[in-house]
């Protein structure tokens, strides 16, 4: 199975998991625990702009559980707002004050409901280090996953704002 975490859009070959129920949601649940899935039952996990919604003290546990459900050799494709890039963009002297509010929303969440808050800012070193610490291997930043037209491809003021990382569960 391929699991798209945080998705409310159906896509052929993918099952969706979201914290809110809906007709396009296959599994309702919190991404911090994938207890409803058996060990090594998922081929691929895709999560675009999900991890930042988890308190920083809980990300390690969530990623450990994601690793548990992946098949040996399985892949996690993770996209988060690139905190380093967004802070530099926010502070750039040519960015207009009216644009800073939108940049701030990308950093802290849109805050349109109780789930739309960002608890952590992730950069390449922090995300890759956490993935490595829980046991992922072959961690690499990519420009585009080539899968979904979502926030992983988002540009603001002509700048791609996402940190896109692919990581693999070891085969043995």
Are the C-beta atoms of residues 154 and 79 closer than 8 Å to each other? no
Q: Going residue by residue through the chain (172 aa), what tens digit of pLDDT does each one get?
A: 999 999 988 899 999 999 999 999 999 999 999 999 999 999 999 999 999 999 999 999 999 999 999 999 999 999 999 999 999 999 999 999 989 999 999 999 989 888 889 999 999 999 999 999 999 999 999 999 999 999 999 999 999 999 999 999 999 7
Closest CA to 8 of 140, 113, 101: 113
Distance CA 96, CA 98 (A): 5
**Helix, strand, coil % over all residues of the chain, rounded to 5:** 30, 30, 40
SS3 assignment, position 61: helix
Domain boundaries defined on the chain: 2-82+119-168
What confidence score (pLDDT) does residue 8 get? 86
What confidence score (pLDDT) does residue 153 get? 96
CATH 3.40.50.150 fits 2-82+119-168, yes or no: yes
Distance CA 86, CA 115 (A): 21
What confidence score (pLDDT) does residue 1 get? 97
Distance CA 64, CA 27 (A): 19
> In sequence order, which ranges of 81-166 are alpha helices (DSSP H)?
83-91, 97-108, 124-134
What confidence score (pLDDT) does residue 13 get? 96
């Amino acid at each position: 199975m391929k699991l798209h975490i945080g998705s409310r859009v159906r896509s052929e070959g993918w099952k969706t998991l979201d914290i809110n129920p809906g007709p396009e949601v296959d599994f309702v649940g919190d991404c911090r625990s994938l207890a409803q899935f058996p060990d090594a039952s998922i081929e691929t996990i895709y999560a675009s702009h999900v991890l930042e919604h988890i308190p920083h003290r809980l990300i390690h546990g969530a990623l450990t559980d994601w690793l548990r459900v992946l098949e040996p050799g399985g892949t996690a494709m993770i996209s988060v707002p690139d905190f380093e890039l967004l802070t530099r963009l926010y502070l750039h002297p040519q960015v207009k004050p009216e644009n800073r509010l939108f940049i701030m929303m990308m950093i802290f969440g849109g805050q349109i409901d109780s789930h739309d808050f960002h608890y952590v800012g992730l950069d390449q070193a922090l995300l890759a280090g956490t993935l490595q610490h829980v046991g992922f291997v072959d961690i690499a930043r990519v420009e585009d996953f080539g899968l979904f037209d979502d926030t992983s491809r988002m540009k603001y003021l002509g700048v791609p704002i996402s940190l896109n990382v692919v990581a693999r569960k070891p085969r043995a």
